[in-house]
Structure 1
Amino acid sequence: MSTTTQTLNSPTFSTVIRERRSVRTYDPSVKISQDEIKEILGEAVLAPSSSNLQPWRFLVIDSQPLKEKLLPIAFNQKQVVEASAVIAVLGDLESYKLTETIYNRSFEAGYMPEERKNTMITNTTKMYSSFPPEVSKKIIYTDGGLVSMQLMLAAKARGYDTVPMGGYDAGKFTEAFGINERYVPIMLIAIGKASNEGHPTVRLTVDEVARFNEMSF
């Protein structure tokens, strides 16, 4: 099997968003290196998040035996074993524990004065640690969606294909892969090179889904 590094030829953003498809059939001979997956993730994590706490965590599954283990958990969807990797996007319910790390780095980078840094650390840690689980989950699902979409667009910009997957048994997944209750599965994303292009789809028009200033649907 080949190891592939896709050339990034800087397609326009408009091209990327129009050519991205949800692909379910992949060329199993194409393997994306772990270094390149890290580069894609490095672009994905530039996504915004609540208070910049970046609660996303990723489990990259690129071992074929582990993909085979995942297959029945994902209801035997063949992209799990054909794609180069499956990236599990997880949300950290205790992401506030890294508040000090994040804001110290912001201070060291010159993005905020020390007094503001200290205030942000104190207030953010106190607030997020006091949230009930349902509030924390709402936040991490929102932030997890943002980083997931950015991941898929970053992959497409490099010539790779993806499909977001909600069809899997989250309980069996966390048990099989040793994920403790601190982390909530958001979605799985298969990534690789399509063997068949994803089929085009239609969208409702902007006029059908948007209103200015008042709801009049």
Structure 2
Amino acid sequence: MTVTKSSLTKVMHERKSVRKYDENFKIPQQQLEELLVEATSAPSSSNLQPWRFLVIQDEAVKKELRAIANNQEQVETSSAIIAVLGDTKMYENAEAIYTKNFELGYINEATKDLMINNSINLYSQLPQEVLKNIVTFDAGLISMQIMLLAKDMGYDTVPMGGFNKEAFAQRFELADHIVPVILIAIGKAAAPAYNSSRIELEHIAKFI
């Protein structure tokens, strides 16, 4: 049987981590907004959607950020930097989220009340380190969607975990419950990314 690759598979394989960008190319803010809206279809723990975004387009601010991000060139030359953050107080939005689900007819009232109570009671009691792990995981899920959607729109990206998170939080005056997770450079490639190999499935997967 011949298996035809889907458009999603094509985008997945065409997405590469690009580090050289056309610094004169700027993505319209409306498209960046559309990208983030689409990306929020990602799943999250108890659907609490803890991701927050700081989209940095200003050239002077990007130059400052480059120093915080280990002098990575793409921080300054890409069209924008999408900082993906995690809110460890995401459970405070449980009522609004599940009430909206109820109003849209996705759940009944009993389920709404149950999910609100369960979410608040569970997450509000968790240690900060556990909450950080949860929001970091969820930020990873939406970050991958951002990069795939960007490629589908004709743009290139590279994720960056190597930056001074404490300095970032201080520079952008983040509240204590907002955790910097990853920076994503987005723009038009000025040079192709390197290809990279993958470990064979037999070494990373076991079927039982």
TM-score normalised to structure 2 length: 0.95
RMSD: 0.9
Alignment match of 1:202 (pick from 184, 197, 200): 197
2:25 maps to: 30
User: What does 1:67-146 align with in structure 2 at a 5 Å threshold?
Assistant: 67-146=62-141
Alignment match of 1:173 (pick from 168, 172, 179): 168
Q: Percent identity?
A: 49
Q: 1:12-41, CA deviations, whole angstroms, 9 ceiling, x for partnerless residues?
A: 111100010001000011101111001111
Q: CA deviation at 1:138?
A: 1.3
2:8 pairs with 1:13: yes
CA distance in 2, matches of 1:44, 1:131: 27
AA paired with 1:103? Y
Alignment match of 2:178 (pick from 180, 183, 187): 183
Q: 1:167-196, CA deviations, whole angstroms, 9 ceiling, x for partnerless residues?
A: 111111111111121111111000001000
AA paired with 1:118? D
Structure 1 ranges of 4+ moved more than 2 A: none
**Mind listing any 5+ residue stretches in structure 1 that lack a counterpart?**
1-10
CA distance in 2, matches of 1:34, 1:178: 23
Q: CA deviation at 1:207?
A: 1.7
Name the SS for the 2:54 alignment partner.
Answer: strand
CA distance in 2, matches of 1:70, 1:206: 38
Q: 1:47-106, CA deviations, whole angstroms, 9 ceiling, x for partnerless residues?
A: 100000000000000111110111111111110110000011100010001000100110
Q: CA deviation at 1:141?
A: 1.1
AA paired with 1:83? S
Q: CA deviation at 1:208?
A: 1.7
2:60 pairs with 1:65: yes
Query: May I ask how many residue pairs the two structures share in their alignment?
Result: 203
